Amino acid sequence: MKKIVIVGVSILSLLTFSACSNNDKPDSKPEEVSKKDLEKLKVNENEMDPNEDLQGYVYFSGKFIGKGLVAIEDEDGNDIEVSKLDSDGNFNLKVNGTLKKQSLKIRAGSKKVKVTVLPLDKDFEEKKKAEAEKNKLIGEQVRQTQEENRIKKEAEDKLAAEAKAEDDRIKKEAEDKRIAEEERLKKEAEDKRIAEEQAKEAIANLPTEYKSALNKAYAYSEKMAMSKMGLYDQLTSEYGEKFSPEAAQYAIDNVKADWNANALTKARNYQDSMSMSPEAIRDQLTSEYGEKFTPEEADYAIQNLN
């Protein structure tokens, strides 16, 4: 009897432990259902037209929350295009258009979304070809316009460069002239300074006779309006100043006299005091026994008589 009781208690204990074990084990099926519920597939457009913009194909885009690839299936369940997800779960699937309507499915994980691709127009290829020709013509026109603009710009740039070069040449020429003129004036001033210094030095070392002859030359020129040759004769004459030929020559070479003005003064004196004719005055001015002016100086005097 004790044996029966012990066996019964053992069996009851095993049944109780088994029941407890079954209650503690989690159910895997609810977890699997929860994971599928977390997957979300969104397609931006469910129907697309491959005739738009004459592309001949469409792109289905969307977003998938889940793991794995995204594919688009044809009516027979075959994959047409497969796409990877980017880091944000976005995808793009390309489908070429056909002459018949396509009913497709986008598949991602356990989710599927029906999409439709409208059929191509019967004259799609002709339209596409015509559009290609149109675009080609537009492209040629654009290239032609670009070439014309390039040639025009080159011509304008060339003219601008030539104008700039001419302007630079004129500026350089003016600058060169300015520099040359500055150098000329600088040299002229320097030469004048040197000449004045030399003249001062020469005067300082000049013999007294030379200085006296020069002073007499100034007096005769200013007071008596004598000619150069008349002045020389007066300075060397034994009846005049009796200077040496060298002193007299120095004097007439260095006296600052206007011989034309002296000739005109003499001519007016002859005209006013003796009422002589212009030709008679000319003869008197140029005569070796008269005033001894040069023919050019006499001509100046006659031409400027009142």
DSSP code at position 56: S
Q: Tokens in use for 262?
A: 């002296």
Among 187, 188, 203, 295, residue whose Cα is nearest residue 254: 203
Name the DSSP class of 287: -
Which pLDDT score is estimated for 111?
93
Name the residue among 219, 226, 232, 300 with its Cα closest to residue 266: 226
| pLDDT for 306 | 79
In this predicted model, what pLDDT tens digit does every residue of 255-275 receive, in sequence order?
999 999 999 999 999 999 999
* Bridge pairing between strands 102-108 and 90-96: unpaired
Q: How confident is the model at residue 29 (pLDDT cuts 50, 70, 90)?
A: low
Task: Specify the pLDDT at position 55.
Answer: 87
Q: What are phi and psi of 22, to 5 degrees?
A: -65, -35
Question: How many C-beta atoms lie closer than 10 Å to residue 133's C-beta?
Answer: 10
pTM for the predicted model, two decimal places: 0.40
| pLDDT tens-digit map of 276-286 | 999 999 999 99
What count of other Cβ atoms lies within 10 Å of the Cβ of residue 118? Answer: 16
pLDDT digits (tens, 9 = 90+) for 96-129: 999 899 999 999 999 999 999 999 999 988 888 9
Q: What's the whole-number average pLDDT of the chain? A: 87
Helices (H) and strands (E) in the chain, counts: 9, 8
pLDDT value of position 148: 94
- Note the pLDDT tens digit of each residue in 2-17: 444 444 444 445 444 4
pLDDT at 53: 84
Q: What is the pLDDT of residues 50-64, one digit of tens each?
A: 898 888 999 999 999
Q: What is the pLDDT of residue 201?
A: 82
Comparison of pLDDT for 44 and 26, the residue scoring more: 44
